[in-house]
Chain A
Amino acid sequence: MKEELIVSGRMNQLVDPHLHIWHWQISIYLFLGGMAAGILAIAALYYIRGREKDYSTAVRITPFLAPVLLILGLIALFIDLRHKLFFWQLYTNIKLQSPMSWGAWTLMVITPVSFIWCALHINDIFPKWDWKFKWLFDLEVFFRKYKKALAWVMLVYAIILGIYTGILLSAFNARPLWNTSILGPLFLTSGLSAGAAVTLILSRNKAERKQFARIDLVLIGIELFLIIHMFMGFLASTQVQIEAAKMFLGGPYTMSFWIFVVILGMLVPAILEIMELGKFNVPVLMPAILVIFGSLMLRFVIVYAGQMSRWLY
């Protein structure tokens, strides 16, 4: 029997009894960033493959949400910083070993790219849009000329952004729950599925909706596969990771994870989408909103649970 007691001094309320340094801001940012990454990656992919006509909502309309989501995410990140006025220090350094540095520079690329992508499609939403100034018009002509290259940049950086939201956490070996390389692909898949769900809501085209219901279904399948593998990895690993997994297998996060993330966020929408692809007429809003909700809850659960998991010594 071992009992550990902190007898003095250690009154750091943000560290004891367990870490609570990251709060809703980080969860919200990981969610918004992931969803924006999903939206942009899908748009770029379909544009590159020349399917712009078939999936016009995904390529032209949904990306208009991405800059909004990214800006809101950046605001959340800014709120999280404690030494706010020094935020620019992020952009005087490139630290290849720091995921956060990667993230900061990725956002520096993907945010302007998402604005440019919207500018190229602004006539689809506002047919009478006029740039007013000639240089803006010239700029549009320039980017339209290199739209394919722009789409490639957007695809690559969207995928980096999607993976990075997971790697940000998985790089911390101090928090055994986060320290799994599955988190990168899992967050990317979850972001892509949230992005596909947005198109599912916005699209008025039956064929497109069917395709995106199918995409969502495949992505949910991949997510479930990754989650199972994550737990297999934890349970076959060291004591600290077994303890981390136990938080979800009978511990304090069992309910919120399995009910909100897995059942409501993945299984129920998957069943609804299978029904929709069959003969049933399911209101498309339901599975889509559940997928987005599940994606949000995944971020919250992982961010908060990770801070409860720790090394034993």
Chain B
Amino acid sequence: MRYAMAVDTRKCVGCSDCVVACQTENNVPIGFCRDWVIEVMDGTYPQLEMEIRSERCNHCANAPCVRCCPTGASRIEEGGIVAVEHNVCIGCGACIASCPYDARYPHPAGYVDKCTFCIHRIRNGMTPACVDVCPTKCLYFGDLDDRNSDITAVLKRRKSKTLIPEAGTDPHLYFLK
């Protein structure tokens, strides 16, 4: 089982519903977020190109945050989901410094927090909150090892990219071009 998410950059309108849904679902403290939207403008007027990306933790297979965690609080759960066990985390910040995507933040309660692909929802057979709420249905979530899953189909059909694969992290967040 390898969970992954794909973001259709052609369908995403940057409405930030995914951000709000995540903050509500996971009780993210005000002033922080586990996912966010980035708008990249490329080119010179009038030849302009825009890409909108809903970003979050890449749930790397070779996760630097898991490697550098001194207590084992950052760990890889079922399906390759990278998660933090709050009661083991000492809040040293090493994982935050180690993430090339800056996907982690220190929760005001002390521990480090991040996107979990809504692991509590997945375990109950649901999809992550951001995927559920997306009004343009531009987020795909599923198991890469399952041939019949939405994500395997869409990744087969469309061209996609990952963010800074050269950082050697083997990220599992795909962006459809």
Q: Is the CB of B33 within 8 A of A173?
A: no
Q: Which residue of chain A is the closest to B88 with respect to CB atoms?
A: A89
Contacts of B14 in A (CB 8 A): 7-8
A269: min CB distance to chain B, Å: 31
B interface residues, how many (CB within 8 angstroms): 52
> In the bound complex, how far is the Cα of B36 from the Cα of A22, in angstroms?
23
Per-residue interface assignment for chain B, residues 82 to 97, with 1 indicating a CB less than 8 Å from any chain A CB and 0 otherwise = 0000011111111011
Per-residue interface assignment for chain A, residues 85 to 97, with 1 indicating a CB less than 8 Å from any chain B CB and 0 otherwise = 0110110110101
B122: min CB distance to chain A, Å: 22
> In the bound complex, how far is the Cα of B105 from the Cα of A82, in angstroms?
11
Judged by a CB distance under 8 angstroms, whether A139 is at the interface is no
Contacts of A103 in B (CB 8 A): 70
Per-residue interface assignment for chain B, residues 24 to 62, with 1 indicating a CB less than 8 Å from any chain A CB and 0 otherwise = 000000011101111111111000000010000000000
Q: Which residue of chain A is the closest to B37 with respect to CB atoms?
A: A8
Contacts of A173 in B (CB 8 A): 64, 98, 100, 167-168
Q: Is the CB of B167 within 8 A of A174?
A: yes
Q: Is the CB of B31 within 8 A of A97?
A: no
Q: Is the CB of B97 within 8 A of A2?
A: no
> In the bound complex, how far is the Cα of B76 from the Cα of A195, in angstroms?
41
Set A5, A14, A16, A310: member contacting B100, Cβ < 8 A = A310
> In the bound complex, how far is the Cα of B41 from the Cα of A113, in angstroms?
58
Instruction: Please judge, given known A-B contacts A19-B97, A172-B68, whether A12 and B88 are in contact too, CB under 8 Å.
Output: no
> In the bound complex, how far is the Cα of B45 from the Cα of A1, in angstroms?
10
Contacts of A99 in B (CB 8 A): 68
Q: Is the CB of B72 within 8 A of A95?
A: yes
Q: Which residue of chain B is the closest to A91 with respect to CB atoms?
A: B71
Judged by a CB distance under 8 angstroms, whether A80 is at the interface is yes
> In the bound complex, how far is the Cα of B97 from the Cα of A191, in angstroms?
23
Contacts of B94 in A (CB 8 A): 98, 100, 172
Q: Is the CB of B44 within 8 A of A1?
A: yes
B residues apposed to A, CB below 8 Å: 14, 16, 19, 23, 31-33, 35-44, 52, 64, 67-73, 87-94, 96-100, 102, 104-106, 109-112, 163-164, 166-168
Q: Would you list the 3 A-B pairs with minimal beta carbon distance, nearest first?
A: A82-B91, A10-B36, A83-B110
